[in-house]
Structure 1
Amino acid sequence: MIRSCIAVVLVCCCSMLAHAQDTSKTAPAKKEVRAAGIWYGTPDAPKKAAGALRLAAYNVENLFDAVDDPNLSGEFDDIKETTSKPRLEGIAKMIRALNADVLCLEEVESKECLVWFRDTYLKGMGYDHVASMDASYYRGVEQSVLSRIPIVSVSNCTGTDATISDMEVRRSDAAATALAGAWSPPQKPLPERFQRSPLRVDLKTKDGYELTVFVVHFKAGGVAFAHQRELEALQTEQFVADMLLTNADANVAVLGDFNGTPNDMCIKALRMSDRGLVSAYDWRFDPKAQRDVYTTHASSRVLDYIIMTPGLAADCIDKSFFVLGTLHAPSDWDFNKADTIPPPAGYASDHCPIAIDLLTAIDKPASSFKRTEPLPAASTRAVSAPEGPRGLRLLDGVKATDADIALATKLVNAGWNYTMPKPKSKTAAWDNPNKQSTWFPGYWENASTKATSVAQPVESDGVKGSFVGDGAPAPKWIAGGPPNAPTIVEWLCSTSDGIEPK
């Protein structure tokens, strides 16, 4: 009897425990719903500096007009995608608040759709120039540009330019190490082409400032398609590299929806490129702000970027990059049911716009100073800065001593000449404090032996008139703003370039 009671108690206890365990598995804590609101970015766009050009990117989440495209039918019939009037008004409100001069868009149906949207909802914005081309995407959306400055040319990838499979050779172990990351597992079969061709648009201001944008929308789909995004990024980086071979100071931006987070290789392949490309996030208005201030997508991720060449980066206004906050729907809203349960009034897109401001003055060439006269005899020679903001200010009024001239004469007689620091980017000027401007540092070179030296060569022991350098090669360009002014001896031994000392 006692054993029977014990058995019953054990069975009951076990049953109760099992029920408790089952309950814990089937009744997880309900996730709190986040109410509609501006979750990310800054609620107001900063005011543009006088004369600045604002460059921006914005994924408008399927901007479709009500015109039926006969090329799209069945599952992808565009008439089903017609953007509602409240959303069109929401998108227009964001674009007006953004106030960009060059606005790069993703997920636009067509040029005709964009022109209609501009004429209907963006009157008075000054977007006289429009670019949009078929991206060869089955769903019928493409990248586009609305611009206040003239568009010179528009193109996208066709033929071999659209091929990305040849970039597989660049996904090497050495490249992964250089990027401090790991490539994604390969897809099978190997991705062949861009899912959505990048849109290249060349622009030129009335003052002659030239800018090229590659508007991208890399393949979505999470980890399963990371390989394709990496190939798309590598091919886009190659397009930029080809431009830099022709013009190292080219003003180029790759911007749009990359569908990757900052540490994904499709982002690193561009922002850590050995071409010196940099991310606009380096110019954010508050580097210490919380992550949400620079989050761009409703999924709490950073997916949108502006990646720039050194020449363009040097034109950026410090602390001018921002993410403009847009109204997000409640976290439990299902966009697949938008036809029956529309998003809240004021909703525009699941992405936030991003922007950075540029100063586009073009009268910033490297110095044309060339000194061809022989070194002066042992006497003093004044160094003065030219009129205007540029010049060798730190040597203004300084006089070369007899010792300076004697040493410089020995160096020149031994074949050593000094190449002055030279601006690389268009905004690199001695009076420009921008720490992102790029320069070629000065260095020494022997005309006879072709030896180079970063440090000033020193006289050899026991060999009168012979000077030896440190053997360092001619320096590559660096960022960080203007270098230190050259010494009197360096200036006296210079043969060309530099900063126009008189």
Structure 2
Amino acid sequence: MSTRRLLLSLAACLLLAPLAAAQNAPRLGQAKPNPKSPDVIRVATYNLLNLFDNRDDPALSGDSEDIDDAKPEDQKKAAADAIRRLDADVLGLEEIESYDALSDFVHEYLDGMGYDYIVSIDVGQERGIEQAVISRFPITEAMVWPHLPLGGVHPDLYGSKPNQYAGQPVMCRRSPLRVTVEVPANTHGAGAEPYQLTLFVIHHKSGKYNDYWRNRESVRFVNMIHELEQQDPDRNIILLGDFNAIISDWSVQNYRDSGMYDVFGNDRVPDAKQTTHESGRCIDFIFVNSALNREVKAESAFVLGVPVRSEADAARYWETSPPPGYASDHMPVAVDIYPQDR
């Protein structure tokens, strides 16, 4: 090849490289996880979108029948790929069918990742979904509050239509999952004493006109956190999950107003790299209390980009096919923490 042809070929490659990179870049989130240093632990949240197994739950029937809800094999593999890339030490999960479904998934698709500790507790939700945690560190406590009363009754209208729950007491749709994780002393950056971290993994009520419901959940969850802080002001608390609300909604603002900190910053305006749902909204969050905020590694929070539908297709998700590599309509969100009390 002549020198001139070689130079032209090199120039073409240089011109096409950015185009190829742009084509491979995720629509939302960032293409690669942030680097993870050995002196931190990574905590994350990921809504896995209906992680159901192929077992029939006899307690579910009618509109909640689960026999045909098993998550497709290719989506399980894609979810596992995202989790491997994420490399979280502690991962809160939403839309999990059961402990058995999650345990099967971890052992089949996440073998070798070190997730030896698994918690998923039934909360009595009629569709059979719950929150869960998988962890590389021991879980010393786990609890839920099924059918938690929130006070008040449902309004007469859902938007402009009759509310099917009108007049009934407002109950928590999906109880928070509270777990405490203990990082052993002298490991993963922990000091001479074990490091404890309490997680509230939440999945707020969905639905455009259910803001009143989410608001009541938010108030109750804040009270639960404050009760713990009153018992132990130094307790490290992290609240994470699918909030089904955007940053300006009252249910989200209430966490900030209560003294918690958004790990991306309380004054942020989410852009495409911080968007967490294929609809173009940021609805998955991680908040920490003041005790834990001192241990959050600065600028470590990120949203990991994964294949999702276009925003137009997301608006018609029930009649559009997901793209190759699709695992969920949500993106994982993560933050790094120094596991030493400061």
Smaller-chain TM-score range? 0.7 to 0.9
> For the structure 1 residues 92 and 125, does the alpha-carbon distance in structure 2 shift closer, same or farther, using more than 3 Å as the test?
same
Q: Given the alignment, which residue of 327, 332, 335 partners 2:313?
A: 332
Q: Which residue of structure 1 lines up, in the alignment, with residue 90 of structure 2?
A: 102
Alpha carbons of structure 1 residues 359 and 167: separation in structure 2 relative to 1, 3 Å: farther
The counterpart of 2:227, out of the listed 242, 246, 250, is: 242
Any conservation in 2 of the 1:155–1:199 contact (CA below 8 Å)?
yes
Q: 1:294 to 1:147 in 2, by over 3 A?
A: same
Structure 2 matches for 1:24-103, cutoff 5 A? 38-103=26-91
Pairing partner for 2:260 from 258, 277, 282: 277
Letter in 2 for 1:145: V
1:223-372 matched pairs, under 5 angstroms: 224-273=209-258, 276-282=259-265, 291-330=271-310, 331-332=312-313, 334-337=316-319, 342-361=321-340
Tell me if 1:193 matches 2:171: yes
- Superposed displacement of residue 336, structure 1: 2.2
Deviations 1:188-228 (CA, angstroms, capped at 9, x unpaired) = 53652101111111111112111111110000001x11000
TM-score, length-scaled by structure 2: 0.83
SS of residue paired to 1:68: coil
Q: How many residues align?
A: 301
Assess if the C-alpha contact under 8 Å between 1:165 and 1:190 holds in 2: no
Please give the secondary structure, in 2, of the residue aligned with 1:61. Answer: strand
Question: Which residue is 2:151 aligned to?
Answer: 165
| 1:198-237 paired onto structure 2 within 5 Å | 198-207=176-185, 208-222=194-208, 224-237=209-222
TM-score (norm 1): 0.57
CA displacement at 1:38 relative to structure 2: 2.1
Could you say what secondary structure the match of 1:356 adopts?
strand
Instruction: Measure, in 1, the Cα distance between the counterparts of 2:103 and 2:37.
Output: 28
Q: Distance in 2 between matches of 1:109 and 1:37?
A: 31
Using CA pairs below 8 Å that are at least 6 residues apart, which structure has the higher relative contact order? 2
Q: Is the 8 A contact 1:153 1:202 kept in 2?
A: yes
Distance 1:328 1:67 in 2: 27
The structure number with the bigger radius of gyration is: 1
Whole-angstrom distance in 2 between the partners of 1:335 and 1:139: 19
Quote the sequence identity (%): 35
Structure with the bigger percentage of strand? 2
Instruction: Give RMSD over aligned pairs.
Output: 2.3
Runs (5+) with no aligned partner, structure 2: 1-22, 155-162, 186-193
**How far apart, in 2, do the equivalents of 1:155 and 1:59 lie?**
20
Contact 1:37/1:327 (8 A) holds in 2: no
Q: Aligned runs of 1:375-394 on 2, under 5 Å?
A: none
- The answer as to whether partners of 2:308 and 2:329 remain within 8 angstroms in 1 is yes
Shift of 1:335: 3.2
**CA deviation vs aligned residue, 1:77-126 (integer Å, no higher than 9, x gap):** 21211111110111101100110000000001100000000011001000
Contact 2:120 2:131 in 1 (8 A): yes
Distance 1:227 1:283 in 2: 23
CA distance in 2, matches of 1:74, 1:36: 42
More off after superposition, 313-322 vs 76-85: 76-85
